[in-house]
Amino acid sequence: MSDSQSPIAVAFTGASGIQYGLRLLECLLAADRQVYLMVSQAAQVVINMETDLKLPSQPGEIERYLSEHFSAPSGRLQVFGRQQWTAPVASGSNPPEAVVICPCTTGTLASVANGICDNLIDRAADVALKERRKLILVVRETPFSTIHLENMLRLSQAGAIVMPANPGFYFRPESVSELVDFMVARVLDHLEVQHTLSERWGDEH
């Protein structure tokens, strides 16, 4: 398993499916992982649409709000602004262990695939690629256009893990939360973070 003190960066973008990102954040904090969080402006809109959370607008306020919401100790969660270029994730000299964009818009997908770094989320992903750190993109869109697929192929060839939000139904989920947990479990597996979110194929029932 990975060093429990190594930070993991998580980014929320404006795709539908913010529940995936919030559940991932909750699980990482519960697993005693330090998390660097970035939230796009569109993601803040989606959070207000898809959840009952009343997320503040400023990074420091978001940090306090989510730390309290998930009962995380002080310092476990750090939230960085969209143009906060002094954040650790902006430099290859101090990269996190992994970067997860969850959910990931196709716009963010395109920026990362083409090396465009207009904001901290794009830059964090770019740093992960160039430093050969783990980059996971939980893309949420349907259907995919040829351009989307070409961008996914380019990123896969560059070493990223492209993980569209496609939950499975093997274990007969009975709630939306179980579908969310199925996807989050796959992300946690790739991050080598232990969990008990879902049954594993071949395990005894």
Domain layout of the chain by residue ranges:
8-165
With helix as H, strand as E and coil as C, how does 88-99 read?
Answer: HHHCCCCCCCEE
Over residues 55-90, the pLDDT tens digits come to 999 999 999 999 999 999 999 999 999 999 999 999
Task: Give me the pLDDT at residue 27, please.
Answer: 97
Over residues 18-50, the pLDDT tens digits come to 999 999 999 999 999 999 999 999 999 999 999
Q: What is the share, in percent, of the chain residues with pLDDT greater than 70?
A: 97
Per the listing, tokens 């429990």 go with 4
Q: Is the pLDDT of residue 204 over 80?
A: no
Going by C-beta distance under 8 Å and a sequence separation of 6 or more, which residues neighbour residue 176? Answer: 19
Task: Give me the pLDDT at residue 138, please.
Answer: 98
Q: Is 15 helix (H, G, I), strand (E, B) or coil?
A: coil
Task: Give me the pLDDT at residue 1, please.
Answer: 38
Q: Read off φ and ψ for residue 193, nearest 5 degrees.
A: -105, 125
Over residues 161-198, the pLDDT tens digits come to 999 999 999 889 999 999 999 999 999 999 999 999 98
CA-based nearest residue to 183, from 127, 118, 100, 88:
100
Q: At what angle do helices 106-113 and 146-157 cross, to 10 degrees?
A: 50
Q: Residue 2 — very low, low, confident or very high, per pLDDT cuts 50/70/90?
A: very low
Over residues 89-113, the pLDDT tens digits come to 999 999 899 999 999 999 999 999 9
Q: Which helix (H) or strand (E) holds 80?
A: strand 77-80
Q: Domain 8-165, what architecture?
A: 3-Layer(aba) Sandwich (3.40)
Q: Is 9 helix (H, G, I), strand (E, B) or coil?
A: strand
